[in-house]
Amino acid sequence: MRRELPRRWYLVRKLSRNNKQVSTELSVIPAESFVSSLDKGDSSTRSGDLTESSSDKEYSRRNFLRIFATAAGAAVAVGSGIEMLSYRAYAQSQPTTNDWSGGGMTGSGVATMASTLAPPTHQWAMVIDLRNCDGCKSCTAACQKAHYLTPEQTWIDVFSLTDSVGKTYHLPRPCMQCENPPCLHVCPVHATFRQDQGIVLVDQDRCIGCRMCMAACPYEARYFNWNSGVKYPPLPVQPTPEFPVPQRLGTVGKCTFCVGNLNHGMLSECAAACQMGVIYNGDLKTDVAVNGMGTTVKLSKFLYDNDAVTYKPEQNTHPRVWYILGHGQNLTTDIASKS
């Protein structure tokens, strides 16, 4: 049930600390090798097959992975795809912080870069089906294991809440990867940025640790590195915003959607770990979503048919995470009763 692939030390971007100098070395193992290993066997499935299909028939997870992977492979093969470029250079080329559909950041710098870039291949999303969540916290445990987090750092946390008929239900809460992220707007040094696939990331080599973003996030999704002395095993790579391990003392960290996994045809750690199939990784571009049980759905139809909602829409954050509610469940936060 868990992944067929070894752990994820495949894509390492050596990023120059200097903002203007962009180096895009790939080291350790080139991503292509994984893509091709994944692509062995029947390669007839194309992303088009899926998106054009109007049925809500379920696809096998393997097929789905292949779709993800094919797209990723194409991008890697072309070589000018966004995966090959520094996130920062790309982010700097983006025109506005309020572009809710595309890239993230403002900034001067490499303005010409934009024209040479292929449009992003994926726009990642997540669906969380609350009807099936039993609150076992396997997702939290898997996330903490993969990112070497301390017990308090619950990048995906599972809250026990009460629904409108008085029963307890469970709410897994990752970072919402807001399309209008308050955490990004308040960051004084652009350490928080939004990459082209819609993932909000933190550059822990730039974060000054002011925690303004923790104050601004309406979902309490950010976790600080308060204490030194966290033990990490020897790791073959340097931390990147996509995979900030080891984390830097005095900076802030949060859920990354395991975007490195996603770009290489794997599910996020939490989705892969969920034995109830609650967490779906989705792609708005190819309009598919898949959970850890191998259930594959057409994303838009799945959301529509199940009356999916976003959390705290009144905050105007435009989350990339949708929730499917059961009977009586609601996401209204009753702050008044919290005393």
Q: Please tell me whether residue 228 binds another protein under the rule CB under 8 A.
A: yes
Q: Which two tokens stand for residue 185?
A: 């707007």
20 belongs to the binding site for another protein (CB under 8 A): no
Q: Which does 97 bind (CB under 5 to 8 A by kind): another protein, ligand SF4, none?
A: another protein
Q: Which does 250 bind (CB under 5 to 8 A by kind): ligand SF4, another protein, none?
A: another protein
C-beta neighbour count of 152 within 10 angstroms = 10
Stretch that binds another protein, among 8-16, 55-63, 129-137, 226-234 (CB under 8 A): 226-234
309 binds, among ligand SF4, another protein, none (CB under 5 to 8 A by kind): none
Among 8, 112, 24, which Cα is nearest to 76's?
24
Shortest spacing between CB 250 and another protein, in angstroms: 3
Helices H / strands E in the chain, number of each? 11, 13
Structure-block tokens of residue 26:
């790939």
Tokens of 103: 């890239």
Residue recorded with tokens 């054009």: 52
Structure tokens at 173: 């809460």
Distance separating alpha carbons of residues 319 and 175, to the nearest angstrom: 9
If binding is defined by CB under 8 A, does position 250 make contact with another protein? Answer: yes
Which string of x and - marks every residue 286-325 that binds another protein (by CB under 8 A)?
A: -----------------------------x----------
Which residue, 38 or 321, is less far from ligand SF4 as judged by CB?
321
Write out the residues near ligand SF4 by the rule CB under 6 A: 175-178, 181-183, 186-187, 189, 191-192, 200, 202, 207-213, 217, 219, 221-222, 251-252, 254, 317
63 CB-contact burial (10 Å; exposed 0-12 / middle 13-18 / buried 19+): middle
Tokens 């040094």 correspond to 189
What is the rounded CA–CA span in Å between residue 24 and residue 13? Answer: 6
Residue 156 near which of another protein, ligand SF4, none (CB within 5-8 Å, type-dependent): none
Least distance to another protein from the beta carbon of 206, Å?
A: 6
> Rule CB under 8 A: is residue 97 a binding residue for another protein?
yes
How many angstroms separate the CA atoms of 155 and 88, rounded? 23
Contacts of another protein in 105-124 (CB under 8 A): none
* CA-angle at 152, arms to 149 and 158, nearest 5°: 100
SS3 of 283-298: ECCCCEEEECCCCEEE
Strands 222-224 and 252-254: antiparallel
Q: Does 61 bind another protein (CB under 8 A)?
A: no
Stretch binding another protein (CB under 8 A), from 59-67, 140-148, 220-228, 239-247: 220-228
Interface with another protein (CB under 8 A) = 19, 97, 152-153, 159-161, 171, 173, 182, 185-191, 206-212, 214-216, 218-220, 222-229, 248-252, 315, 333, 335-339
